[in-house]
A and B are shown apart, each in its own frame.
Chain A
Amino acid sequence: MTVQTIGDVVFGDEITPWQPDTSLQATRSFAHAVGYSGSGRFEDHSKARAQGLPGALVPGIMGMGFLTSMIHRWAPRGKIKYIDTVFRAPVLADHEHTVTAVVTDIDEENGEVVLDLTIQNEQEETRVFGTATVQLPAAS
């Protein structure tokens, strides 16, 4: 499901859940691009475990990227004005996670929508949560 204008948005709607690529190859590329590589914590399970971690991690801001990507697919003409992500617990690389969002507020006058965001692991434990404010074109 996608929305084109503020008129298409329904309060309480859930954006189609999505399973992002949490593979080591993806986390390694991301970590390299943002300058986080080298320690192994985002690149190598055994090196991460040697640091006391349960395995290699998905960088926290990559979770923000999963969420912005989902919002952009849902609202191809939308502009994210604000996104806040709380890193509640580690997101492990090579584990399936589900990214979801729910519409919690609609401001038709200003063309803005507020979304509640979550990233959950296979046990349905919330690892990342947050909110986003998205601007959409006015209904025609």
Chain B
Amino acid sequence: MTDIDDLRSKFLDLEFDRTGFVIDAEQSATVAKTSGETRSEFIDTTDPNFEACAPILASLASGRRLPIDFPKLGGISMDGGKAVACIKPVRPGIKLTGKTHLHDIYAKSGRSGRMIFLVSRMQLYNDSGEHLATTDSRQVIRERPDK
């Protein structure tokens, strides 16, 4: 069985990826409109307050999903959820840098065995180093009984 405390001590809070992004205004507006959004600042690219919507921030993927030396846990991996913390408006077209680390590792046991949760946190910064938003991506791994 995977030692969760060992994984936490070795991997939590260490940046393992840095990726650049530029959000396209039209793509963000499409994401917002197809989700049913009605507010102008998310669907009208000509609105002076136009900003990227939360789902498109959640879609930004780091270059690596896990640290390069993270052990293979086996089992079935699933997308367990996403979170977005909006600190300042993210304007499409600007250069963003996403810095990613493992924010949490924990396990839950149920009738079908143990599930391991890996929470990758990406902090998004603009060129001036201002922290604009944070996204969490929760990966769930159903552990194999023999692990």
Chain A contacts to B: CB under 8 angstroms: 18, 20-21, 26-27, 29-30, 32-36, 60-62, 64-66, 68-70, 72-73, 76, 79-87, 130
Dominant SS at the B interface?
mixed
Is B115 interfacial (CB 8 A cutoff)? Answer: no
* A21 shortest CB reach to chain B, Å: 6
Having A18-B36, A33-B31, one finds 19 other A-B pairs with CB under 8 Å, namely: A30-B31, A30-B34, A33-B27, A33-B28, A34-B56, A35-B59, A60-B82, A62-B55, A65-B32, A65-B35, A65-B36, A65-B55, A66-B36, A69-B37, A72-B38, A72-B39, A82-B86, A84-B83, A87-B82
* B142 shortest CB reach to chain A, Å: 14
Report the interface size for chain B: residues with CB under 8 A from the other chain: 29
Query: In the complex, are the beta carbons of A68 and B35 less than 8 A apart?
Result: yes
* B74 shortest CB reach to chain A, Å: 19
Is B54 interfacial (CB 8 A cutoff)? Answer: yes
Is B93 interfacial (CB 8 A cutoff)? Answer: no
Query: In the complex, are the beta carbons of B36 and A83 less than 8 A apart?
Result: no
A66 to B38, CA, bound (A): 11
What total count of A-B pairs have CB within 8 Å?
A: 100
Query: In the complex, are the beta carbons of A85 and B82 less than 8 A apart?
Result: yes
Is B146 interfacial (CB 8 A cutoff)? Answer: no
A129 to B131, CA, bound (A): 27
Is B85 interfacial (CB 8 A cutoff)? Answer: yes
Chain B residues with CB below 8 A from A32, complex form: 30
Query: In the complex, are the beta carbons of A70 and B36 less than 8 A apart?
Result: yes
Chain A residues with CB below 8 A from B32, complex form: 65, 69
Query: In the complex, are the beta carbons of B79 and A29 less than 8 A apart?
Result: no
